[in-house]
Structure formats: C-alpha cells, structure tokens
Amino acid sequence: MRAETMNNLAQSEVFSLTLVIGTYLAALALYKKTRISLLHPLLTSILVIIVVLETMGIEYESFQRGSHLIHFMLGPSVVALGFVLYEQMQYLKGNVISILTSVFVGAIVGIVSVIVIGDLMGADQALIATLQPKSVTTPIAMGIAEKTGGIPSLTAVIVVAVGIFGSIVGPFVMKVLGIESRIAKGLALGASSHGVGTSVAIQIGAIEGALSGLAIGLMGIMTAILVPVISFIISLF
C-alpha cells in the first residue's frame, strides 16, 4: 500500500519537478561553495535522487512519468544553442574547414579507440556497440547504440559519465597544455563531453559555448555516419 502511494506521488509533476530542480540547485550551490570536482552538481544530483527514490520505494517508471517535462525540454535546450551560435557567427568565418576537420578526427579517434581497446580487453560486440557513441549527446547516442546492437539504457549511463568526466578533466588538461584558443576550447568540450561539457564551455565564455554547441551537432551527425562505416571496414580485416 505504501509503495503504491509513493509511486502515485512520484507520478505527480509537482513532486518530481521539485525533487529534480531542488536537488540540482542545492548541488550547484554546494559545488560553487566547495569547488570540489567530485561534487559536480550533475553527479551529486543523480546520487541524491537515486537515494531518495530507493528510500521511498519509488519505481523509476513512476518517477519518469512525473518528470517527463524535463525530458521534453532536452530537445529545445539543445536547439536554443543555435541562437548562441548565431550571435558568434563571425568566428565561424574562415574556420569552417578547421572546425569540420577537428570534429571529424575527434569522432574517428573516439570510435576506433573504443573498438581497439574493447577487442584487446575481450569485450563482446554488444558492449563495444554500447560504448561507441559515448561522446555523443544522449538521444543520438541511444539511437546509434540501438541500431548497432548495443544497449541503449547502458549507453545513456555511459554518456552521462563521460560528460561529467570530460567537463571536470577537460579544462584542467587544456590549461596544462597551454591551449588558449577559444574556438579550440569550445570544440574540445562539445566534441568530447556533449551537453555537460557545453554547460562548462558557456561558463568560460560565449564563444566557447557557441562552438561547443556546434560541436554537439556535428559530432552527432559524424558519429552516426562513421560508426557503421568504421565497423564494416574493421570487420574486413
């Protein structure tokens, strides 16, 4: 009876939205105060929400129905990056070839590295297919995984983990390597850490955020095309 009551509560949009938004804002405030990388607001929010759902005996399906508005807003939030990109259009002029080349090479390296390392470690084809789109935004990554024989739900978890890791490590690595180009920073964060990396890029600057948003789209398109092509080529050897 209690479990049924909790599941009904979780299906309430007010409860689910309050839990998600309230938890994230609290986690963000904690991160800003401590500046501890392991307390990244997205990671902290996920862990807290899992604990709350488990403690209250709420099924994930019930929680998902109650928070469907957040899922819906993922699409418009990515599209909204196009406006930021439009405002920084002048930085694209003269850099089109370098931008396309950078993202193209990044997509190839990401896919090939997963296949090679997976084979060396004895991973089966399903796991490799699950990991291949790790650097692509979640909706696209899940679609690619499903079409190539991977596990979409596991891909979603991996994408989030990669995004958090890249957003934490990426700025540090670029600082150590002395990378000063704002275009390079934006492309690197967007191509490797998708939406989570883009949120960090926007905090760095408008140009970085715009190019990071562009990299998300380009990376998604190129990965969707290259995954089956590279897999086919490698299967010939």
Find, among 92, 113, 88, the residue nearest to 192 by Cα. Answer: 113
CA distance 189 to 103: 11
User: Residue 5 class from Cβ within 10 Å (0-12 exposed, 13-18 middle, 19+ buried)?
Assistant: exposed
Evaluate whether 160 touches 46 at the Cβ level (below 8 Å). Answer: yes
Per-position pLDDT tens, the chain of length 237:
555 666 566 567 788 888 889 999 999 899 888 877 778 888 889 899 989 888 888 887 778 887 878 877 777 776 776 776 677 677 777 788 888 898 899 899 989 999 889 889 888 889 999 999 888 888 788 888 988 888 988 898 899 888 888 888 888 898 899 988 888 898 899 888 888 888 888 888 878 888 888 888 888 889 989 998 988 887 777
Q: Where are the domains of the chain?
A: 2-66, 82-235
Q: Can you give the pTM of this predicted structure?
A: 0.76
Evaluate whether 217 touches 84 at the Cβ level (below 8 Å). Answer: no
| Coil, strand or helix at 149 | coil
How far, in whole angstroms, is CA 185 from its chain's centroid? 16
